[in-house]
Structure 1
C-alpha cells in the first residue's frame, strides 16, 4: 500500500493514503496504548520504553514554525530515550548554501529518523528519496498524517461508544488537514461531509482515493458548497485556518470568499445534539466563534494533547519496528 518514494526498503510515513485500513487502525491503537502508559506514570513501563532508542537522535527539520508539532515530537522522542534535535530554517544550511540532497544525506547518516515539517510535498519526496532513515511527514502542503492519527484517537475517546455510524463534517478550506482526515475517518468506517466555498474543490486524487475506501467500507464522502447542509446531523464539526502560513497577502480576499463558513451556533444547532467540535489549532476568530470553540462540545485541547501520542505511535512503528506493523510490543 505504501508509495514507492525511493528504491530502498525504508518505510516512511507520508500520508494516510499510503496505509491500508488495518495499518492505520494499528497506528491509532498504538497512540491509545502509549497514552495509557504515559498517563499511568508506571515507572517500570517508562524505563522499558526509554531503552528502545537510548543513545539515538531524532532530527526535526522544520521550515515552518510550530507549537504542537514541535512539543509532541520532542516529547515522543524523549519518551523512547532518543535525543530530539530541532533544526529550524535558521539553524542549518538547507536552502541557503546546501542542497536538499546534501543535507538529507548528512543528517540521515547521524540520526534514527527525521520528522519533517516543510512547505511543499516535493520537499517530503526529496527527503524520502535520499534519506537512509525513515521520514515522518509532520506537515506539508498536501498531507498531515500525524494530525489525522490524533484526530481519530480523539473521536474514538469521545464518541467511540456510539452505535450509529459517525458523520464527520468539515467546514472550510480544501487543505492538507482534511486530505488526510477524510481518508482516515473513512478507513475507520465513518462518513465524511466536506463543505468548501464556491471555487474551492478537493484535489481529485484525494476524491479518487476516498472513492476506493467508500467501495470497500461502505462509507460516504459528500462534497458540497453548502455549510448548513453539511452540518445537518454531524457528530463532529471540524474546521481549520482559512488563511494558511504564507498566504497572509491574500487574507482580505480569502475572508470574503469564506463568508458563511464560520462555525457558529447556527451551524452547531444543525449538528447532532451530542456533537463534538474539533480544530487542529492555532485558531482564528473568523473560523469559529468563542461560544463553540470554548463550549461544552469542544474537544480541541484533548485533540492537541493527543498529538503527543500520535508521534509516539509513529516512532514506535516506523523507527523502533522499522516500518513493520507486525509483532509490535
Structure 2
C-alpha cells in the first residue's frame, strides 16, 4: 500500500499539504539514516534515466547519489548524448526510455516536455527544473526550514528579486499549500503571473497562509523568518543585463535589507549558484560595468551565521531521495493523505 507509488512529481500544485509534508519528513528521516550509516536500498535493481537539457550541479549530483544510495543505477543522458527533441520526438523518446528505465528525471526548458514524458513513458517522471517550476528544490527548501525552526506552518518566507521565475513560482504555491506566509518583493513587471498567484491564493484559502506581493523591498521583508533570493537572470533567458541589474539592485539581500526584517534570527536561503562575490566569470562580466562586488546577495550575508544556503544545497539529495523512494519504491505508506 503506497499512496505515491508510480506517481510522477511534476509540480507542487499536484499535491496537497499532507503529501508535501510527508515527503519533507521522509527526506529528514532518510538524511538521518545516511548519517547513521543505515542502508536504505528501497530501489534495489531499478534503473533511472537522468535527462538533462540544461546544465546542473546540485540536481544532477543529488539524483545520482540518491539513486545509488537507494540501490538504483542512474544513467546520465545529456542533450548531446541522445536524439531527444532533435531527431526523435518527446513522445517517441518517452516510450523508448519508459520501456527500458524504471523512472525518468527531466531538467530542461518547457513544462510541457516533462508533462509529455510522464504521459507517454508509463513510469514515474520527476521534474528536476523547468522554466515554470522547480519542485524538487521546494522539498529541500522547506525541509531546511523545518530542520531549523522545528515547524513550517505560520513561518514567513520572503523572496526578493525576479518574482516570475521558476523558484519564485514554486515558493509561492508551495508556501501557500503548507501554510507558510509568502512575501514576494519584485518590480511590478517582474512579479508572478496571474495564473500562479490565483493558484497560490486558492491554496492559501485552505491553509491560512498570507500572500503579499509588493514592489517595496522593505515592506516585503518586514517580519520575515527567512529571506530567499535567486540569480537575477535565469538559464537561457535573453534579456538586457544592464536593465535587469538596474531593476533589481534595490532587491539585493544585503545587511540593510536583513535589518529591515526587524528580526535577529532571520535565516538566509538561496537555491544556488549565487553571484555573491567576483569568483565567477559570468558574475564578473555582469558586475564590471557597475563597480559591484556582488549581485543578488552580498558576500557578507551569504557567509553569515544565519545563512543556511549550503545546508539547503546538501538537502537537495535526501529530498530527491524521498521523492524517488516514495514514487518508485512501493513502500508501506498508509492512506492518510485526504
TM over 0.5: yes
Q: Which runs of 5+ in 2 are unaligned?
A: 276-293
Partner of 1:20: 16
2:34 aligned with 1:38 = yes
Q: Measure, in 1, the Cα distance between the counterparts of 2:298 and 2:216.
A: 19
Partner of 1:171: 160
Partner of 2:251: 261
Is the 8 Å Cα contact of residues 26 and 325 (structure 1) preserved in structure 2? no
Deviation of 1:247 (Å): 2.2
- Aligned residue runs from structure 1 range 44-63, under 5 A: 46=39, 49-50=40-41, 52-63=42-53
Is the 8 Å Cα contact of residues 23 and 325 (structure 1) preserved in structure 2? no
Q: Measure, in 2, the Cα distance between the counterparts of 1:262 and 1:237.
A: 11
Q: Which moved more, 1:94-103 or 1:109-118?
A: 94-103
Q: Measure, in 2, the Cα distance between the counterparts of 1:217 and 1:10.
A: 27
Q: Which moved more, 1:254-263 or 1:301-310?
A: 254-263
Is the 8 Å Cα contact of residues 236 and 278 (structure 1) preserved in structure 2? yes
- Aligned residue runs from structure 1 range 16-165, under 5 A: 16-42=12-38, 46=39, 49-50=40-41, 52-160=42-150, 165=154
2:323 aligned with 1:314 = yes
Q: Measure, in 1, the Cα distance between the counterparts of 2:33 and 2:240.
A: 44
1:180 to 170, 177, 190: 170
Q: Flag the 1:327–1:198 CA change in 2: closer, same or farther, 3 A.
A: closer
Partner of 1:283: 274
Q: Measure, in 1, the Cα distance between the counterparts of 2:245 and 2:25.
A: 38
Is the 8 Å Cα contact of residues 176 and 210 (structure 2) preserved in structure 1? yes
Q: Secondary structure at the match of 1:142?
A: coil
Partner of 1:293: 302
Q: Measure, in 1, the Cα distance between the counterparts of 2:25 and 2:217.
A: 32
Q: Measure, in 2, the Cα distance between the counterparts of 1:103 and 1:115.
A: 13
Partner of 1:241: 231
For CA contacts below 8 A with separation 6 or more, give which structure has more relative contact order.
2
Q: Measure, in 1, the Cα distance between the counterparts of 2:187 and 2:318.
A: 33
Aligned-CA RMSD value? 1.9
